[in-house]
Amino acid sequence: DPAARHLLNAVDLASGARVLEIGCGSGCVSLGLAARDSSVEVYAIDSSARAVSCLQQSAAENELPNITVLLEAHGVVPDPGCYDLVLANPPYYSDFRIAEMFVEAARTALAPGGTLLLVTKQPVWYLEQLPQNWNDVAQELVKGYHLIEAVRP
């Protein structure tokens, strides 16, 4: 998945960072981050029981104890306010209702100064909405995908 690859390539984590992936799907981003640095704590949430099960199995098979996977469909995040980084690849449908839920969940999850990094092919909504409640909103176009970064005040 090119979007997942762009997210992984954009991430530069400090040792011991706490990361939350919202809408993790089968978990390739979470798996990649957990494998990259065993000191990083990765939390992954998704609304699909099948996706959560798949990621739990992959983490076990790859001996990655630094991944915690949770089934969550309502934007509730574990341990609000303590993450250094939130990652997301929101779906491109539903009039941005799901994207809005992802952004709100990220704001709840992040510690002050924490970073939201998301990837999309439709950046306009994010670039209009994020500056209202986030700092340092920036975007980078990478091979047809927009990486959008924002910092929680």
pLDDT, residue 46, reads: 96
Q: Scan for tokens 């998301």, then name that residue.
A: 118
pTM (predicted TM-score): 0.95
Chain-wide mean pLDDT for the chain? 95
List domains and CATH numbers for the chain: 2-151 (3.40.50.150)
pLDDT, residue 91, reads: 83
Alpha helix locations (H) across 15-84? 28-36, 49-61
Stretches in the chain below the pLDDT threshold 50: none
pLDDT, residue 87, reads: 98
User: What is the C-alpha separation between 33 and 134, in angstroms, rounded?
Assistant: 24
For the chain, the 3-state helix, strand and coil shares in percent, each to the nearest 5, are 35, 30, 35
User: What is the C-alpha separation between 127 and 27, in angstroms, rounded?
Assistant: 26
pLDDT, residue 1, reads: 80
61-71 pLDDT, tens digit each = 999 999 999 99
pLDDT, residue 2, reads: 87
69-97 pLDDT, tens digit each = 999 988 899 999 999 999 999 887 767 88
